[in-house]
A and B are shown apart, each in its own frame.
Chain A
């Protein structure tokens, strides 16, 4: 059974700092991996999607990497801002049976202090 773990569960940093969020998964047979952002009381917004054949994806100040063989992904946030404060969730799509089922980690709650 695929399990997704995110470390740390919570992170507090001063504004301007570069930071890394970690995601690990137990079964390397994944189709893709996504990073989502969730603001309090809101739904999820997709940030980056990495295919299993890719090593990284970038969007603005965000860079996500994927090492499928070791079962790890990182989300790098450069020059963090208070507006980046949110919970960040990692999810992997399994290849089982061709149907899409996302398995989510429990998230990392990020606080960026002004």
Chain B
């Protein structure tokens, strides 16, 4: 099992450019999440998908869109990148079968710089 994979690992964009961050998991998990991590701010939830076919906003959704393509894949799109979106982006997944005990599994992250 590769677990949670993210592409690309690094990306530099100019203001106004668009891009899609890809995330895939091979653990047959139901729920998937996108976070951003900024120095001094901790991890903040951008969007999540509780199950295939559903998506919901998290704490900081402005400027982003998501697609739950299938059970395995959950992508995050920046339509018009801004310097404030410079961050490290993490994707996570969770089985959601035994709710009281299961945890989120995180990918290695994508480091995005917007100039």
Q: Are B103 and A43 in contact (CB under 8 A)?
A: no
Chain B, range 68-115, C-beta contacts under 8 Å to A: 90, 92, 94, 96, 99-101, 103-109
Provide the B44-60 mask, 1 if CB < 8 A to any CB of A, else 0: 11001010000010110
Q: Are B42 and A89 in contact (CB under 8 A)?
A: yes
Q: Identify whether the interface residues of A are mostly helix, strand, loop, or mixed.
A: strand
Q: How far is the CA of A43 from the CA of B50 in the complex (A)?
A: 21
Residues of B within 8 A of A102 (CB): 43, 45, 104
Residues of B within 8 A of A99 (CB): 48, 50, 56
Q: How far is the CA of A104 from the CA of B36 in the complex (A)?
A: 11
Q: How far is the CA of A42 from the CA of B90 in the complex (A)?
A: 10
A residues contacting the other copy or chain, number (CB 8 A) = 21
Provide the A47-85 mask, 1 if CB < 8 A to any CB of B, else 0: 001010000000000000000000000000000000000
Which residues of chain A have a CB within 8 Å of any CB of chain B?
4, 32, 34, 41-46, 49, 51, 89, 91, 99-102, 104-107
